[in-house]
Structure 1
Amino acid sequence: MACSSSVYALDGITLEGGHTNESTDTLRLGLQFDFGRTLWQSDGGGAVISGYWDAGYTHWSGLDAESVILTPVFTLSFPGNGGVTPFIEGGIGAAVFTETNLDNRRDLGSKFQFEDRIGAGMRFTSGAEVGLRYYHYSNAGIKQPNQGINKAALYYRHPI
Structure 2
Amino acid sequence: MNMKKMIAAVAALLAANAAFAAEGQLIDGVYGEAATASKIRMARVGVTKDWNPNWSWFDSGNTHLTGYWDASAGYWQGRQYNNVPGDKQHIVDIGFTPVFRFENKSKLGFYAEIGIGAHLMSETYNNNDDRLSTAFQFGDHIGIGYVFNKNWEVAVKMQHFSNGSIKKPNSGVDYGVVKLAYRF
Fold match (TM-score > 0.5)? yes
Q: Report the Cα distance in structure 2 between the residues aligned to 1:58 and 1:43, rounded to whole angstroms.
A: 36
Q: 1:47 maps to which residue?
A: 63
Could you tell me whether the CA contact under 8 Å between 2:39 and 2:127 is conserved in 1? no
- Matched residue SS, 1:110: coil
Q: 1:67 maps to which residue?
A: 93
Consecutive unaligned residues of structure 2, counting only runs of 5 or more, are 1-22, 79-88
What is the alpha-carbon root mean square deviation over aligned residues?
A: 1.9
Could you tell me whether the CA contact under 8 Å between 1:79 and 1:85 is conserved in 2? no
- Match of 2:181, as an amino acid? R
5 Å-filtered alignment, 1:90-129, equals 90-103=114-127, 105-129=129-153
- By percentage of residues, which structure has more helix? 2
Could you tell me whether the CA contact under 8 Å between 1:65 and 1:102 is conserved in 2? no
Q: Report the Cα distance in structure 1 between the residues aligned to 2:182 and 2:125, rounded to whole angstroms.
A: 34
Q: 2:154 maps to which residue?
A: 130
Q: % of aligned pairs identical?
A: 30
- Match of 2:143, as an amino acid? G
Q: 2:40 maps to which residue?
A: 24
Deviates more, 1:54-63 or 1:103-112: 103-112
Q: Report the Cα distance in structure 1 between the residues aligned to 2:51 and 2:156, rounded to whole angstroms.
A: 22
Deviation of 1:103 (Å): 4.2
- The TM-score, its normalising length taken from structure 1, stands at 0.85
Higher normalized contact order (CA 8 Å, seq sep 6+, divided by chain length): 1
Q: Report the Cα distance in structure 1 between the residues aligned to 2:173 and 2:60, rounded to whole angstroms.
A: 40
- The TM-score, its normalising length taken from structure 2, stands at 0.75
The total of aligned residue pairs comes to: 151
